[in-house]
Amino acid sequence: TQLLEQSPQFLSIQEGENLTVYCNSSSVFSSLQWYRQEPGEGPVLLVTVVTGGEVKKLKRLTFQFGDARKDSSLHITAAQPGDTGLYLCANSGGSNYKLTFGKGTLLTVNP
């Protein structure tokens, strides 16, 4: 099972600040998915990155996949309270059907 390490574990910032969270592994990712989970709900897919060096943007969120495909980052510009949630990265580790999740970064954006 491929282990996914996410950092930081907790992050509390003020509205308007920028932030970056990370997902790392000692093994090469075939692809990587990022999810956001809000309290009382299930995770929701934000993006999938597949190609080394790939950058994807989703409004104020920028996702980057490392050139070596061992790491990924999520950058949020001008964070808003609505960005509050648990951010999870996930990967199959080469399995056909199973997705393994990191422990997540719990983000709190204060008004």
Partner 1 sequence: DAGITQSPRHKVTETGTPVTLRCHQTENHRYMYWYRQDPGHGLRLIHYSYGVKDTDKGEVSDGYSVSRSKTEDFLLTLESATSSQTSVYFCAISEYGRDNSPLHFGNGTRLTVT
The footprint of partner 1 (CB under 8 A) covers 1, 30-31, 33, 40-45, 48, 50, 88, 90-92, 94, 96-104
Cβ at position 31, least distance to partner 1 in Å:
4
| Number of CB atoms found within 10 A of residue 54's CB | 18
| Number of CB atoms found within 10 A of residue 80's CB | 12
Cβ at position 95, least distance to partner 1 in Å:
8
Cβ at position 63, least distance to partner 1 in Å:
13
Specify which residues 14 forms β-bridges with: 110
Question: CA-CA distance, 45 to 27, in Å (whole number)?
Answer: 22
